[in-house]
Structure formats: C-alpha cells, structure tokens
C-alpha cells in the first residue's frame, strides 16, 4: 500500500513516476511528507515545477526532513518556490487531531 489517494492511471508517465517516487522514499515519514504534498499538487504542477521537484526528490531524506522542519538551512539550490510550498503544506498552527 502506498498511501496515495491519486489514481496514477489518469496521469502522464512523467507525473506517474514522480508520484511513485514521492511515496517510495525509504522512510515512512518522508513517504507521508513528500507523498501527501505530491497527491495534492501533481495535477497542477507546471513543467518547471516538475523539473524542480525531480531534483528535490533525489536529495537524501534526512536532508529534506531537516529543511522542512527548520533543523538546518535549506541550500540555495533547493530553496525554490516549490520547496517553500512543500514546507507551508506541512506547517500547522493548530493541533492536527482536534
């Protein structure tokens, strides 16, 4: 089970590969962080967004996690508008389980 809520059959091959890679990171935490964002955004990502995201998903899980959580500074080459959308997507100002 991948956790995805998006049917990959409706996506073109490139978006399908990105969706698969986002949900198969290596750690369940990163599967959830990257996969849930991809589920929400994959249909509306521009070609430029897809290129940027393809580069991002090649970064090590521990680095991406540290950047998302603010434990380390995001390197300039990854600090893109798309990455900032990913980070905001996982920012919660209230408890999640209320």
Q: Is the pLDDT of residue 96 over 80?
A: no
The CATH number of whichever domain residue 55 belongs to comes to 1.10.150.250
For the segment 56-90, what is each residue's pLDDT rounded down to a tens digit?
999 999 999 999 989 999 999 999 999 999 999 98
Q: 41 lies in a domain?
A: yes
Q: 94 lies in a domain?
A: no
Residue range(s) defining the domain that contains residue 41: 11-89
For the segment 11-38, what is each residue's pLDDT rounded down to a tens digit?
899 999 999 999 999 899 999 999 999 9
How many domains does the structure of the chain reveal? 1
Q: 2 lies in a domain?
A: no
The answer to whether the beta carbons of residues 74 and 82 sit under 8 Å apart is: no
Q: 97 lies in a domain?
A: no
Whole-angstrom distance, CA of residue 18 vs CA of residue 15: 5
Q: 4 lies in a domain?
A: no
């Amino acid at each position: 089970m991948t956790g995805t809520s998006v049917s990959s059959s409706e996506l073109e091959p490139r978006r399908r590969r990105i969706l698969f890679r986002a949900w198969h990171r290596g750690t369940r935490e990163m599967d959830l962080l990257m996969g849930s964002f991809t589920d929400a955004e994959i249909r509306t990502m521009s070609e430029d967004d897809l290129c940027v995201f393809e580069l991002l998903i090649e970064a090590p899980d521990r680095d991406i996690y540290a950047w998302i959580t603010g434990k380390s500074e995001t390197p300039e080459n990854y600090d893109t508008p798309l990455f900032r959308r990913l980070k905001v997507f996982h920012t919660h100002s209230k408890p999640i389980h209320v």
